[in-house]
Structure 1
Amino acid sequence: MTLRACGLIIFRRVLTANVSDIEFLLLQTSYGIHHWTPPKGHVDPGEDDMTTALRETEEEAGLHSSQFRIVDGFRKELNYDVVNNKKIGKTKKSVIYWLAELSDPNAQVKLSSEHQDFRWLHLQEACKYSEYQDMQDTLNEAYQFLLGHLKP
């Protein structure tokens, strides 16, 4: 059985030294090894993937779908094994991410109990925080996609 999760890579545009730049939102889990990740979560029965991504973003970061827009054309699926601490072995997991731009760069993030901290990070910092190579690759792909598709 494969666990399925969906989420959004939320970004905002910020002005740095008169140049527009991109920052990504990463949340730090309050459980396990306290890893950093975009908001995401498991698909509930009867729920479609995008509904899951929107629900999880609101639950985990307090950001409602009215506060961002989904960027057309970017969808990334990650597939990996998760070590299950309750029994010996691994579980397969599939996570789908879409890109979403925050409408108001000053919108307030409100964490759920599943997370203990959040950061808005430039690409290099976001990759450093994320630690996992597949997430680093995804953030890099998202950034390159945005450079080619965002209007000033």
Structure 2
Amino acid sequence: MTDLPYRPAAGIMLLNRDNKVFVAQRIDTTLDAWQMPQGGLDPGEDAQTGALRELEEETGIPPHLVEIVARSAGELLYDLPADLAGSLWRGRYRGQRQVWFLLRFLGRDADIDLATAHPEFRTWKWAEPGDLPDMIVPFKAELYRNVLREFAAHLS
């Protein structure tokens, strides 16, 4: 698996006015895991454009309802567990290399609509930033700790 490349992607830590983070549960699993919006970049797409596209595709939140607070200094990586690596993304990637964005949500909760053209989430909530590593699937916990360290100056 170490011979495989990382899939280029973007991740979004979306904060509300109370500095709580948007998290959602995937529609394709019954796990009690919560994640932040994220997804792969289209060929030739820059990370910021991809992040805003993914946010709207997954949550219905259009770009004009967010402001960019910060961007990760570099890419943050995670590896898939062996049992997923062979099936996810047709077995072409070992994990993802993500540029993360910290965004401020300018809208209202009513502006969030998971019933998008291709729904990915079944439910959502606002969570305390420090709780994130315990809420995600275990193989992404270190990634979430790295995201928290990256944006720590903006979370207090």
Out of 14, 23, 33, the residue aligned to residue 20 of structure 2 is: 23
More strand by share: 1
In structure 2, stretches of 5+ residues that fail to align are: none
Cα root mean square deviation, aligned = 2.7
- The answer to whether residue 68 in structure 2 is matched with residue 62 in structure 1 is no
- The answer to whether residue 101 in structure 2 is matched with residue 98 in structure 1 is yes
Out of 41, 44, 47, the residue aligned to residue 42 of structure 2 is: 44
Out of 134, 142, 152, the residue aligned to residue 134 of structure 1 is: 142
More helix by share: 2
Q: 1:144 to 1:44 in 2, by over 3 A?
A: same
Q: Check the 8 A contact 1:24/1:123 in 2, yes or no.
A: yes
- The answer to whether residue 120 in structure 2 is matched with residue 114 in structure 1 is yes
Cα offset, 1:108, TM superposition = 2.5
Partners of 1:127 and 1:9 in 2: how far apart?
13
Partners of 2:92 and 2:71 in 1: how far apart?
36
Q: What percent of counterpart residues are identical?
A: 23
Out of 6, 9, 16, the residue aligned to residue 2 of structure 1 is: 6
Q: Where does residue 12 of structure 1 map in the other structure?
A: 16
Q: Secondary structure at the match of 1:69?
A: strand
Partners of 1:76 and 1:138 in 2: how far apart?
11
Q: Check the 8 A contact 2:71/2:100 in 1, yes or no.
A: no
Cα offset, 1:62, TM superposition = 0.7
Q: Which stretch shifts more, 112-121 or 135-144?
A: 135-144
Aligned length: 141
TM-score under structure 1 length normalisation: 0.76
